[in-house]
Structure 1
Amino acid sequence: MSIVEALIFGIVQGISEFLPISSTAHIIIAQLVFGKTFPGLSFEVILHLGSIVAVVFYFRRDCVHLLKTFFRYLSKRSAHDRPEFFFIVYIIIATIITGGLGIFLEDIFAEIMKTPAFIASALALTGIFLIIIERFHQIGNRTETEMTFLDAIIVGLAQTLAVFPGISRSGSTLIAALFAGLNRPTAVRYSFLLSIPVILGSSVLAFDDLSTGNFAAIGAVPLFLAFLASLIASWIGIVWLIQFLNKGRLIYFALYCFILAIIVVTMLDNSTVPSVN
């Protein structure tokens, strides 16, 4: 893999990971464009690690605060710490739902879900729900202190759909949280913090596929540059999405999904779809 290709894949992964436009679909499309097939999952793990570092660093104070509060509540049972304690519990619940059902769905639909027609349909569906949530749904006003187990279940189920290329993980969790009646700041915070165990978990599950042979086939320099590009681009994607959400402009992401869906279904050949795990 060339340095330019590594940088492009890193940027594509980073930007699309946290924007509601599906990073998996973009990586598949990038592979098709460059005619690349990754050797195993080693390269994808490196790309995801860049995104994990970015989101953890961006929300580092929030992460430290939540962990301290979580363990403090376990020992002291302070009513003041209760909302933050259950906020982490809700993250755990949604993660468990996503992990269990995601593997089940991937096993069932593995053969069809990476075809251009399927990806285009999923992208269009993402765009439709982004329009609905912005234009036709009354945003709620519930904060994390008013979250319930039902909210975690709804968001966890929605996040499970992101196993399908074209369905955005960040988009599905944001849409579900807003539909459930959470206000924008709470939905954004929950969605981003929920991404940490989900992305980390998917990377850990892929560790068995890591091999020095796969790394050697790509090259140390391209791997490092892809990781760095993914980290920086992920940071930009986080900042960008938060700014867009504050202004209520999800419609632009919806239009992008529609345009990309048209490009995918009209310009990509089913027979050329790479095998992406």
Structure 2
Amino acid sequence: MSIIEAIIFGIVQGITEFLPISSTAHIIITQMVFNYQFPGLSFEIFLHLASILAVVIYFRRDLIEVIVGFFQYFTNKSKENRTQFFFAIYIVVATGITGILGMLLEDSIGDSLKTPAFIAVSLTITGIFLIIIERFVRYGNRKEDQMTFIDSIIVGLGQTLAVIPGISRSGATLITALFIGLNRDTAVRYSFLLSIPVILGSTVLAIGDFTQGSLVADIGIVPLMIAFIVTFIFSWIGIVWLIGFLKKSKLIYFAIYCFIAAIFVYFYLSPDTIMEV
């Protein structure tokens, strides 16, 4: 892999990972537009780790609050500790649902759906739901202390939709969380913190490649490190950007972008291509 390819893939992965526009779809688009060969699942997961590092650092205070509150609840059942204890449980429940259903659905979905036409449909569906949640659903006002197990189950089911090529994980969880009545701050916090166990869990799939060193051999240590750093930087930018947009209630712009991307994918990319990511 060249340095330029590493930078481009890092930018695309980083900026799209947490925006509701599907990072997988944009990796596919990048491959087809620039005629690049994406190294595969191990490299994708490696870049995801850079994105998760950005989340962990950005939401470090939230993570500490949840972890500390969870363990303190066993000895001090204050209202704050109770809120953080169950918030951690809700993260585990949603992650478990996504993990189990994701493994069951992944084989049945297969690479046959990673075509321009299907990606275009997925992007269009994402855009439609972003418009629905922005224009036709009143934002809720429920916070962490008002969440229930049902909420975590519903969000977990919504997150599972991300196994479909072109459906954004962050978009699916965010839309679902807003739809069930969580306020914007809680929905964003829940969505981002959910990404940590989900993506870390997926690294199990690439442990063999990491330990055997094949990732370094196939790509090269310098491009690999550059891609990681660039992904981290642009993931951070994406996090800040999304939070800023949501404070101004601007999901409609992401919907418009999804429609434009869908049109481009459907009409301008080869209909016979099946991507490997």
Range class of TM-score, shorter chain: over 0.9
Q: How does 1:254-269 map to 2 (within 5 A)?
A: 254-269=255-270
| Count of residues paired in the alignment | 276
Q: What's the C-alpha RMSD, in Å, of the aligned pairs?
A: 1.3
Deviation at 1:270, TM superposition (A): 3.4
Deviation at 1:253, TM superposition (A): 0.3
Match of 1:78 in 2: 78
Give the TM-score, by structure 2 length. 0.96
1:83 and 1:144 in contact (8 A); partners too: yes
Runs of at least 5 residues in structure 2 that lack an aligned partner in the other structure: none
Match of 1:251 in 2: 252
1:139 and 1:184 in contact (8 A); partners too: yes
Question: Does 1:147 pair with 2:143?
Answer: no
1:162 and 1:172 in contact (8 A); partners too: yes
Match of 1:271 in 2: 272
1:45 and 1:206 in contact (8 A); partners too: yes
1:40 and 1:214 in contact (8 A); partners too: no
Match of 1:156 in 2: 156
Match of 1:49 in 2: 49
Match of 2:221 in 1: 220
- Cα–Cα, structure 1 residues 214 and 80, in superposed 2: closer, same or farther, change >3 Å? closer
Deviation at 1:40, TM superposition (A): 4.2
Match of 2:31 in 1: 31
Match of 2:230 in 1: 229
2:93 and 2:153 in contact (8 A); partners too: yes
User: Residue deviations 1:146-204, cap 9 Å, x none?
Assistant: 00001101100000001112111111111101110111111111111111111111123
1:112 and 1:118 in contact (8 A); partners too: no
2:112 and 2:274 in contact (8 A); partners too: no
1:42 and 1:215 in contact (8 A); partners too: no
Letter in structure 1 aligned against 2:147: M
Letter in structure 2 aligned against 1:260: A
Larger deviation, residues 111-120 vs 203-212? 203-212
Letter in structure 1 aligned against 2:274: V
Deviation at 1:105, TM superposition (A): 1.5
Q: Distance in 2 between matches of 1:146 and 1:182?
A: 9
1:17 and 1:170 in contact (8 A); partners too: yes
2:66 and 2:85 in contact (8 A); partners too: yes
Q: How does 1:13-24 map to 2 (within 5 A)?
A: 13-24=13-24
Runs of at least 5 residues in structure 1 that lack an aligned partner in the other structure: none
